[in-house]
Amino acid sequence: MATVGSSSITVRALVCVEQDGKAASVAAQRAPRVRVCNDEFFAWAERTGERFNCFVGNPPFIRYQTFNGDARRRALALCAKLGVAFSGLSASWAPFLVVAANLLRPGGRAAFVAPAAIGHAPCAGPLLDHLVGRFQEVRVVAVRRKLFPRPSENCRLLLADGFWRRHSRDRLRRCRRDPAGTRAAAR
């Protein structure tokens, strides 16, 4: 049992997928109750039969020029099976979000850190179309301050709720932080 804000939730299992062996080892030591899979995400996703109530992630921000080889082929093939076709200009984060979202159980939710390019990159259209078609609600939250001190990438928060639930009329919301910075306000 864990408490999040004023809500109590039961956590049955936490799974972490980390490609870097050293980082996976550190994660396993720091979070002994978490099952850490030292694997490339798309290879793991292709093999797993597990489905989750919630998926939280910070996908790799690998630009299309260096997102290549087996990982790229595997990612694009998985997306194609899900009905999403990305161009050759797709960075790694877009296929990651599509594949991760489809590892949810019906009614599941997801929270991801996404690059600001989610608002304008060529891969953003197919990604958002797919997510809006699968979730009851999708929100993209713009954050004024950098989320992380070191990377120079501006980020957005992508929040999706109600995987495979009936869709409302207005399913995609772009949000901004209000002047006080205390809550997300829909535009």
Query: What distance in Å separates the CA atoms of residue 158 and residue 147, rounded to the nearest whole number?
Result: 13
pTM, 2 dp: 0.79
- Locate the domains of the chain by residue range: 1-39, 53-186
Question: What's the pLDDT score for residue 178?
Answer: 42
At position 32, the amino acid (one-letter code) is P
Fold classification of 53-186 is Rossmann fold (3.40.50)
Q: What string of pLDDT tens digits covers the 187 residues of the chain?
A: 444 444 555 556 789 999 999 999 999 999 988 999 999 999 999 999 999 999 998 887 767 666 778 888 999 999 999 999 998 778 888 999 999 999 999 999 999 989 888 988 888 999 999 999 999 999 999 887 776 666 667 888 999 999 987 655 554 555 444 434 434 433 3
Nearest to 123 by CA among 175, 160, 74, 88: 88
**Using only C-alpha atoms, what is the Rg of the chain?**
17
Question: What's the pLDDT score for residue 135?
Answer: 95
